[in-house]
Amino acid sequence: MPVAETPWTSDQELVEKILKGDRAAFELLYETYFQRIYRFAYRRLSDAGEAEDVTQEVFMTVLGALASFQGTSSLLVWMFGITRNKVNRRFRSPRRRVEAIEGDSINEAEAPEAPTDRAVDARRVLNRCEEVIERDLTPLQRRIFHLKHLRRQSVRAIAEALGKSEDAIKANLYRMRRVLSDAVPGLDSVVSS
């Protein structure tokens, strides 16, 4: 199978630029591979929202784990491996069943209880996230965050609702996750738990 051409000369060179803090290099990686990673996840999950979430998680993981890239395979193949692991975790983790009980009350049935220490740590991290969202995100980004993470809408639905392109919504989601990741230490451990 022929290897698709990339806008950079070597994966290792691109990785080095990203590791040195070159945002444009990471954005180039993101723009070049977003659709391929998304399609890979979508084929396995058959759910656009889940595939979008996995794709965003993959890029956040890539950013954090890029120093471990050894170059024994192409960067895309390495990223597909990360994607496969993220997808597999979605299948392994039990889904919460949410049931309405009288009015607007919600009972999260079959959700395992978190140990008290972890629950307290998670609450602290989530409180910090709320502060960062209010302080550091633009009104548009807060609206996108609300639609994506609280209303669980797809990127396409958000784009249509806000009169923006899907790429603009994806770029804003990426920036929001980056702001949250930078400003809230411990967020990854709470989200991945």
pTM exceeds 0.75: no
For the chain, domains (ranges, CATH) are 11-90 (1.10.1740.10), 120-192 (1.10.10.10)
pLDDT along the chain (193 residues), means of 10: 66 91 90 92 88 91 89 91 89 55 46 50 72 84 84 88 90 86 70 50
pLDDT at 109: 43
pLDDT at 117: 56
Residue 38 is given by DSSP the state H
By residue count, the chain amounts to: 193
- How far apart CA 95 and CA 161 sit, in angstroms, is 28
Which residue, 164, 116, 113, is CA-closest to 138?
164
The residue behind tokens 């069943």 is 97
Amino acid letter, residue 21: G
pLDDT at 47: 86
User: Which residues of the chain form beta strands (DSSP E)?
Assistant: 97-101, 105-109
pLDDT at 105: 44
pLDDT at 49: 85
pLDDT at 5: 67
By the 10 Å C-beta count (0-12 exposed, 13-18 middle, 19+ buried), 127 is classed as exposed
